[in-house]
């Protein structure tokens, strides 16, 4: 089992805490124990396929989209990005954009980006703690101010920024847009429901997302639990999305993550307070 040093990033809209990353230039380093100082790729034996972040949005992020694996490899020689969000905290009125609310053509998309009305055709969702959104590659989206969430995604830092409210970056210069690159990446289909629906059940594993890139299972605990690890026999990430406790004897608090090796096939989850929420992911 490994715990890594956090990688804190300050951005124009808020902060990101990369707690488990194999992205070149932002790679996690083991924080403690006999292997302290080793990188995630050294521990894993290659680039780890998942990236775990905690995102604290003080302002709206840009309207953006991610390419799928095929397009990303063709353009950038790397993976695309499918991801999921688990809402941990939300201020009053907090919301986010996920998907199209109305059908638009690529030509209308370009016009709306140009005149600043693109958000008028996006699906706008009010959010509360416990809400889940799966964002497959190709879906237009944006996290908005007042949202604090855990993000599980493919190991990729490829983002096409479509619209950014005409604001400058931390360097005072306009942030680069990728409006034309995004057009080919966007899935212009309209879905009936963009939320990930699940039954909230305490003290048992609940699968949230299962896609070709990863599976994520939620544990909402108010009492100790011993059980087989979801995805046993694989490398597992465990992200704490609320409370404090221990995982197989190792302390874990909200905003932290652990990496379990394939040899660790059982979980012993013990809250040290009223509750402990853990997101277990594997691929």
Catalytic residue of the set 59, 75, 161, 234: 161
Classify residue 251 by burial, with Cβ atoms within 10 Å: 0-12, 13-18, 19+: middle
Q: Please, what is the Cα angle at 28 between 39 and 26, to 5 degrees?
A: 110
Q: Under 8 Å CB-to-CB from 185, ≥6 apart: which residues? A: 65, 66, 67, 68, 71, 137, 138, 160
Alpha-carbon span 31 to 257, nearest angstrom: 11
Alpha-carbon span 66 to 122, nearest angstrom: 16
Pairing of strands 205-210, 132-135: unpaired
User: Closest Cα partner for 260 from 20, 7, 8?
Assistant: 20
Alpha-carbon span 18 to 7, nearest angstrom: 5
Active site residue 195: no
**Could you list the active site residues?**
161
């Amino acid at each position: 089992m490994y715990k890594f040093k956090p990688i804190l990033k300050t951005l124009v809209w808020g902060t990101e805490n990369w707690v488990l990353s194999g992205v070149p230039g932002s790679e996690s380093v083991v924080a403690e124990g006999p292997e302290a100082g080793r990188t995630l790729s050294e521990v894993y034996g290659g680039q780890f396929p998942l990236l775990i972040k905690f995102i604290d949005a003080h302002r709206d992020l840009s309207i953006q989209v991610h390419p799928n694996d095929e397009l990303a490899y063709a353009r950038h020689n790397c993976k695309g990005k499918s991801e999921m969000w688990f809402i941990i905290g939300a201020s009053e009125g907090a919301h986010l954009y996920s998907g199209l609310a109305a059908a638009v053509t690529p030509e209308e998309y370009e016009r709306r980006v140009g005149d600043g009305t693109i958000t008028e055709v996006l699906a706008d969702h009010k959010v509360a703690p416990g809400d889940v959104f799966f964002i497959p590659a190709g879906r237009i989206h944006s996290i908005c101010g007042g949202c604090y969430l855990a993000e599980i995604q493919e190991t990729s830092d490829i983002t096409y920024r479509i619209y950014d409210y005409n604001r400058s970056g931390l360097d005072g210069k306009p942030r680069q847009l990728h409006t034309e690159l995004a057009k080919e990446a966007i899935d212009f289909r309209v879905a009936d429901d963009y939320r990930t629906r699940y039954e909230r059940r305490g003290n048992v594993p609940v699968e949230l997302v299962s896609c070709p890139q990863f599976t994520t299972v939620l544990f909402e605990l108010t009492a100790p639990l011993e059980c087989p690890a979801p995805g046993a026999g694989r490398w597992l990430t465990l992200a704490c999305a609320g409370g404090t406790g221990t995982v197989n004897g190792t302390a874990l608090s909200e905003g932290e993550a652990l990496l379990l090796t394939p040899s660790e096939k059982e979980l012993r989850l013990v809250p040290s307070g009223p509750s402990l929420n853990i997101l277990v992911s594997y691929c």
